[in-house]
Homo-oligomer: A and B are copies of this chain.
Amino acid sequence: MYTAKIYVTYKPSIVDPQGEVIQAALQRMNYQGITSVTQGKYFEVNLAAPNVAAAKNEVADFTDALLINQNTETYRFELVSNDDEVQS
């Protein structure tokens, strides 16, 4: 069993209206030093796979296919297996 932790963010050239509104709100709340905020998504997916390589492939596969919008988003992920962390 593996746990994939998947971090999705907008591509750099895509507007992130949410981030801008949150930043403005933080500034109004007097957090003055904040220079940028972006909001993305974070998924935790538990999956069974025969080995790390297969798990990685599967995660990349379904993330591309479903979890992100390839036109506007990118992602990175980590894979955790029995307390071993594998960076992707």
Contacts and interface: CB of A to CB of B under 8 A. Distances in A.
Interface of A: 1, 7-9, 22, 25-26, 29, 31, 33-49, 58, 61-62, 65-67
Q: Could you say how many copies of this chain the assembly holds? A: 2
A29 B67 contact: no
Nearest to A23: B45
Nearest to A65: B29
In this complex, the member of A1, A33, A38 whose beta carbon has the largest number of chain B beta carbons within 10 angstroms is A33
7 contacts: A26-B66, A31-B58, A33-B47, A33-B49, A35-B47, A36-B44, A41-B41
Contacts of A40: 41-44
B47 A31 contact: yes
